[in-house]
Amino acid sequence: MTMTKSDLQPKSTKTKEEFVHSVFESIAPKYDLMNNILSFRRHKAWRKFTMKKMNVKPGETAIDLCCGTCDWTISLAQASGSGKMIGLDFSQNMLDYGAVKIKELRLNDQIQLVRGNAMSLPYDDNSFDYATIGLALRNVPDLEQVIREMQRVVKPGGLVVSLELSKPTWEPFKSIYYFYFQRVLPFMGKLIAKKYEEYKWLPESLIHFPDHKQLAAIFEKQGLENVQAYPLTGGIAALHMGTKGKTKSGV
C-alpha cells in the first residue's frame, strides 16, 4: 500500500507501523468501550454474522491476526471447542487485556497469545483452518502482504477472513456517518479515552482503504477462490471471505 501523509500523525517522523503501534498501545484500556462507540455497538452483531458464515467445526484451528483484546479469538475458540487458537498482535498492552478475558473464561489451554507481526507470520505453510483479521486490515503497512501471509498459513481449502470497517454507499446515511466518524468520534475519544489524536487518526485510516468491492478484487488478485463480500449496517463495515485453493501448498 502506498504511504500517504494522512496515514501518519501530523508532523510525525514515525513510520506507519511505528505510529499505529503507539496508537494501540495507548488506547488499549478503553479499546472495547470505544469499539462500541465507533461501530454504534454493532461490532458484536458483525462478528456473530461472520461466525455463522464461517461455520467453524469442532476441533478446527485458527490464527487471529491483530487480535487486540481477543474477542474474536475467544469466539473462535468457543466455536471450535478444542482446536488450538493463536491470537497474534504487535501490541503487548492489547494482548495483556485479552489475556485477562481468556483466563476468566478458562481458555488458557486452548488459546495461545503471541506478540508478532502480521506482515511476517512465524508459522509454517498450511498450519491453520482459518486466518482472521478484525477491524485491523486498514491499519497494516501493506494489506496485500498481510493477505498473502494469511493465505500462506491456512491449509488448502481453508478460509482467509477479514471483518473491517468500510464505506457506506447510500445517501443520506453516508454523509451522516462520515460526519460522525470524522468530526464526532475524535471528540468522544478525547472525552472518554483522553485520546484525541489517536481517534482523529482512526477515521483518516479509512479514507484510502478500499471499499468492499475493491477489497474483494484484492482477495482475488492474491489467488483466493470463491471470494465473498458482505456489506454490513449500510456499508459501514464489510465481511470478506476467500478460500485457499486445494491444490495450493503455499503462496
How sure is the predictor about 169, in pLDDT bands with cuts at 50, 70 and 90?
A: confident
What are the grid coordinates assigned to 170, written together? 447510500
Does the structure show a pLDDT above 50 at 9? no
CA dihedral 36, 132, 160, 81 (to 10 degrees): -110
**What does the pLDDT average to over 91-115?**
97
How sure is the predictor about 5, in pLDDT bands with cuts at 50, 70 and 90?
A: very low
Q: How far is CA 215 from CA 14, 75, 123, 238, 251, in A?
A: 27, 24, 25, 10, 19
Q: Are 156 and 246 in contact (CB under 8 A)?
A: yes
**Rounded (5°) CA angle 187-43-193:** 30
Nearest alpha-carbon partner for 101 in 79, 66, 68, 52: 68
Q: Lowest mean pLDDT: which of 111-115, 133-137, 189-193? A: 189-193
pLDDT tens-digit profile of 201-215? 666 777 788 999 999
CA dihedral 71, 117, 131, 136 (to 10 degrees): 50
How sure is the predictor about 34, in pLDDT bands with cuts at 50, 70 and 90?
A: low
For residues 174 and 96, the model is more confident at 96
For residues 172 and 117, the model is more confident at 117
- Max Cα distance, the chain (Å): 52
Radius of gyration over every alpha carbon of the chain, rounded to an integer in angstroms: 17
Does the structure show a pLDDT above 60 at 4? no
Burial of 212 (0-12, 13-18, 19+ CB in 10 A): buried
| Averaged confidence pLDDT in the chain | 85
pLDDT tens-digit profile of 227-238? 999 999 888 899
